[in-house]
Amino acid sequence: MKLFFALLGLLLAVPNAQEKFHETHLRWDREGTTWNERWSKTLAEADNMTLEEKMIIFPISLESPRSLMTNEEKELQINIRTMLLNTPGHAKYYGKKLAEIPRSHERPYWFRDLKNLPSAETVGVLGSLLADDSERPPLSEDRSNVEEYLMANPNSDRAAQALQHLLTNPPVPKESEYEFNRDLETWRLWWKRVKSGRQTFRFVGDPVNYDLRGPSKRGEVVPTERGPKRNAETPQGKTTPVRTEKTSKGDLPYIFGGLFLLAGIILYLRGRKNGD
């Protein structure tokens, strides 16, 4: 227990805490401590930890490749993920970090951790970051900075790639390689629909439909996009087809009334003609 709290104090004091914690676990490997032993012990202490302590210590455990894990280790990893997902603020923690230190060298680790935390809160944080294109410089007229322009990797790009990894039904196909100049606006339109409640989303391996509040009681919501209104006449001067309506029962009295009126007029005109 003393070793644990000594390690915890070291983690909170060192800026690059995740790397230091990883190094410590490698040392434990050399000493013969198994992955399952150390994480079982650490998970048992989670209830006594603050949000920041949990987010510094546990996310790295989700990076272990499941293909190389025993069933017991896989179950423990699921328990760790569940504990983190049930911790309020698990994604907002990273959103706050990104706002406070936008150019931190730990940013790749923060987005990596978000990719391992499939929750409505995570989608909310990543969706809001789709608007942050601040690191991409404007492309000059002579394109002299085109390399810098293409190589920039702002939070908007990182967020889109994280969402594409998390979601089973992303607006950009999962098999396609992300290109900001082609895909970013698609993601932003998707986020606008999700934020307004007009579209739900699903996570890989999870059949449940979610909105930003959590599991959606309405099931899957697919937006119906309205196309632009057509003018009565096209630019080429051709008229568009006129939509015909079926006659409703409510219109029948007016139709019969009109027919009777027309018959009366015909009879009146015939009577005048015969009188002449």
26 vs 208 pLDDT, higher one = 208
Check: CB of residue 210 under 8 Å from CB of residue 216: yes
State residue 257's pLDDT score: 54
d(CA 49, CA 12): 12
Helices 71-85 and 35-44: angle between axes, nearest 10 degrees:
30
Least confident piece of the model among 32-46, 76-90, 235-249, 257-271: 235-249
Q: Which helix (H) or strand (E) holds 215?
A: strand 214-215
Check: CB of residue 123 under 8 Å from CB of residue 206: no
Question: What is the tens place of the pLDDT at every residue in 140-164?
Answer: 989 888 888 888 899 999 999 999 9
| pLDDT band at residue 24 under the 50/70/90 scheme | low
Angle, alpha carbons 45-94-47 (nearest 5°): 15
The overall pTM is greater than 0.85: no
Q: Where are the domains of the chain?
A: 1-87, 107-136+149-223
Check: CB of residue 114 under 8 Å from CB of residue 162: yes
Assigned token pair, 241: 């087809």
d(CA 8, CA 4): 6
d(CA 80, CA 12): 20
| pLDDT band at residue 217 under the 50/70/90 scheme | confident
| Nearest alpha carbon to residue 147 among 155, 156, 137 | 137
